[in-house]
Amino acid sequence: MCGRYASARKRHELMEEFEIELDTEEELGPDYNVAPTKKVYAVMSRVPRTEGAERPVRQLRVIRWGFVPSWAKDPSIGSRMINARVETVAEKPAFRKAFASRRCLLPADGFYEWMAAPEGAKPAKQPYYIHPEDGGVMAMAGLYEFWKDPSRPDDDPLKWLCTCTVITTSAEDGVGHIHDRMPMMVERDRWAEWLDPRVSDAGRLLVPALAGRLEAYPVSTAVNNVRHNGPDLIEPLPGDGEPAVLF
């Protein structure tokens, strides 16, 4: 499961990193405790709604984390659909249409996982921060969907809700001792194909971990509370020694 991550890059940094062609110009502040139902940056490729536009254009959008299928009666279902398992994403009714043509990249600096402590130890679950050793951006594989609110008039700007989910996989050995699931990553040279809605065999583009190395270290349990935020959340616990290189 991926239930929290950090995303502190500025919009202009992400635009350069992901070679964005079309930007909504909505700026999010640095978030070191991204949680379900929060707004997040998503990179997607769509044909612009302009006359004569034919090809998909890479865009940076702000959407909500927590997937709401187009057929859902209530958007609250999104809080329970923050992850899609790679093993079933192509067949599961909630995700299969989005997997076919509405794929996205969710930029992150790193993600959190919780490891169960020995019986009687405190805290019962120790949070770890897992991130690229070189400080690069992680491109988590995601899906997005549009949901139409039947209670709002057609000219209401809130008529449509765009949401997303993070695709997860079994954790590699280095991460597996912390938690048995981790986000799927898309390598840079596969971004264009993954985002292209015309590509039908996208499953082959997914990889279980970054091409480079990840490192992990325990952090404060302050991250457990979604009201806590700030760069202190990703600081190693004092006296814990060097971070562990996982890959």
| Environment class of 75 (CB within 10 Å of its CB; exposed 0-12, middle 13-18, buried 19+) | middle
DSSP character string of 12-61: HHHHHHTT-SEE--PPPPPEEEE-TTSEEEEEEEE--SSTT--S-EEEEE
User: Rounded to an integer, what distance in angstroms lies between the CA atom of residue 64 and that of residue 56?
Assistant: 22
Residue 152, Ramachandran bin (φ over 0: left; ψ between -120 and 50: alpha; else beta): beta
27 is catalytic: no
17 is catalytic: no
- Catalytically annotated residue among 19, 91, 113, 145: 113
Residues 185, 104 contacting (CB under 8 angstroms) = no
Catalytic residues, by residue number, are: 2, 113
